[in-house]
Each structure stands twice: as structure tokens, then as C-alpha cells.
Amino acid sequence: EAQVTQNPRYLITVTGKKLTVTCSQNMNHEYMSWYRQDPGLGLRQIYYSMNVEVTDKGDVPEGYKVSRKEKRNFPLILESPSPNQTSLYFCASRPTGPGYGYTFGSGTRLTVV
Amino acid sequence: DAKTTQPNSMESNEEEPVHLPCNHSTISGTDYIHWYRQLPSQGPEYVIHGLTSNVNNRMASLAIAEDRKSSTLILHRATLRDAAVYYCTRIIQGAQKLVFGQGTRLTINP
């Protein structure tokens, strides 16, 4: 089944403890993105990648890192999480070209205490 | 980035058509219009997209105004499973970024 898989689905962590949220897609898509969803603020892009080793900042990149060493994987790294990073995170992917929509993962609910 | 504007909520009855409007008056000539929907506890799901012409797929139809400042998502026969938050978005080509507004919460009455 074509899908974007995120892990974990739920995570509670403490301030300052490094964590990684994994994202993997099995559709050979070039474009991948991370979004966070917050009440009243909607969905906002954190980082995106247009292909292997090509990444760039989105609207809210502060406190996050990403890497794209393989086409299928696009992990989101929080080096020193803070409570304001408590949010619902989504990874998404799509092929190049204008004729395609994004496929989103099921989300990761992160709580930083 | 100028976000899209949609009604906060709409209500319809099962098996009736639903027309969900969206205003995107500042859209540029190369930005595609995408629609997604989100069910509770799930990620957004792609519905349909277009640039200038009206589009149809198995899920819905998309009617785009001639001046591209607005569009309408049409669900031809709503079912209870269509109850969701519907987002009208633009895709910024350079950053491949979807610009989300607040969406329309659609309620379907049996």
C-alpha cells in the first residue's frame, strides 16, 4: 500500500532531551515536507526537501533539523525540545510535476513537559 | 504568504450536493489550488487540485473562477463519511509549500 509512515504516533518527552520523529514513504516521491498543526494557527511548514541532500527551511524552522540521506526517509530532529514545540506533526510527500497532490502521514502527537 | 479564506463551518444533508467556497484573491498565476480534507485524528487527505480549468475526479469536482480569485469544491452526493474539515490551499512552487487557511468544518446530517 502506498503510504507515508511516521513514528512514533504519540510521544511525551522532557525539555532538552533530543528526539527524532521518523518519516518514510514507499512511493519514490522526490518532494517531502514536515508540517506542524496547532489550534488557531493551522498547518505550517517546518522544512521541506526537493530530493536527496536538498533541504530548505519552511515558515517555522527554529528548533528543528532535518536530513535527507535517502529518498524514502526524511526524519525530523529536535535537538533540545521545548514546551512550545508541543504540537501535532505531519510528514507529507509527493512526486515532481504539477499534476500531483501531497500524501500525508497519520501524524505524531508530541508533548514536551 | 496570503492565506485562503473559507467559511468556518457548513452543514448539509446526506445525499445532497455540497458546495464549499474558497477565496484566494492574491493567488499568483503559477500557484495551483489544492483541496484537502482532514478527519479527526488523521492527516490531511488530498481531494483535488487545479490551475485554471474545472477539474473532476472520483471524489469531487473543482470549479475555478475565470479570474482565479475563488474556487468551489463540489461534493455531488454527500455521505456521512464526508464530514471533515476541508482545506483550500495554494501550493507555492519554489518551496513546494501548501499554504493552509483555517478550513471549513463540514457537518453532514443523516
Alpha carbons B94 and A32: distance in angstroms, whole number: 13
Say whether pLDDT at B106 is over 70.
yes
Answer whether A13's CB lies under 8 Å from A111's CB: yes
Of chain A, the end-to-end C-alpha distance in Å amounts to: 36
Question: So what's the pLDDT on residue B1?
Answer: 55
Say whether pLDDT at A62 is over 90.
yes
Query: Which residues on A lie below 8 Å from B100 (Cβ)?
Result: 42-44
**A53, three cell numbers:** 541532500
The CA distances from residue A78 to A110, B18, B19, B52, in Å, are: 11, 42, 41, 40
Question: So what's the pLDDT on residue B15?
Answer: 96
Say whether pLDDT at B94 is over 90.
no
Return the residue matching grid coordinates 526517509. Answer: A73
How far is the alpha carbon of B96 from chain A, nearest alpha carbon, in Å?
8
The Cα diameter of chain B in Å comes to 43
Mean pLDDT over A39-62 rounds to: 93
> Residues of B at the A interface (Cβ-Cβ below 8 Å)?
1, 3, 32, 34, 36, 41-49, 51, 87, 95-98, 100-103
- Which pairing describes strands A42-51 and A31-38: parallel, antiparallel, or unpaired? antiparallel
Question: So what's the pLDDT on residue B95?
Answer: 66
pLDDT, tens digit, 9 for 90 and up, residues B77-91: 999 999 999 999 988
**A88, three cell numbers:** 501535532
- Based on the number of CB atoms within 10 Å of its own CB, is B64 exposed (0-12), middle (13-18) or buried (19 or more)? buried
Percentage, residues of chain A above pLDDT 70: 100
Query: Which residues on A lie below 8 Å from B59 (Cβ)?
Result: none
Chain-chain contact of A42 with B103 (C-beta, under 8 angstroms) = yes
Question: So what's the pLDDT on residue B48?
Answer: 96
How far is the alpha carbon of A12 from chain B, nearest alpha carbon, in Å?
17
B95: nearest CB among A44, A56, A94: A56
In the three-class reduction of DSSP (H, G, I as helix; E, B as strand; rest coil), residue A27 is classed as coil
Of chain B, the end-to-end C-alpha distance in Å amounts to: 38
Answer whether A46's CB lies under 8 Å from A60's CB: yes
Percentage, residues of chain B above pLDDT 90: 67
pLDDT, tens digit, 9 for 90 and up, residues A16-33: 999 999 999 999 999 999
Return the residue matching grid coordinates 533540545. Answer: A80
- Based on the number of CB atoms within 10 Å of its own CB, is A15 exposed (0-12), middle (13-18) or buried (19 or more)? exposed
Chain-chain contact of A102 with B100 (C-beta, under 8 angstroms) = no
Say whether pLDDT at B2 is over 90.
no
User: Exposure string (b/e) for A59-91, b if CB count within 10 Å is 16 or more?
Assistant: ebbeebebbbeebbbbbbebeebeeebbbbbbb
pLDDT, tens digit, 9 for 90 and up, residues B9-51: 999 999 999 999 999 888 887 888 999 999 988 999 999 999 9
Question: So what's the pLDDT on residue B41?
Answer: 87
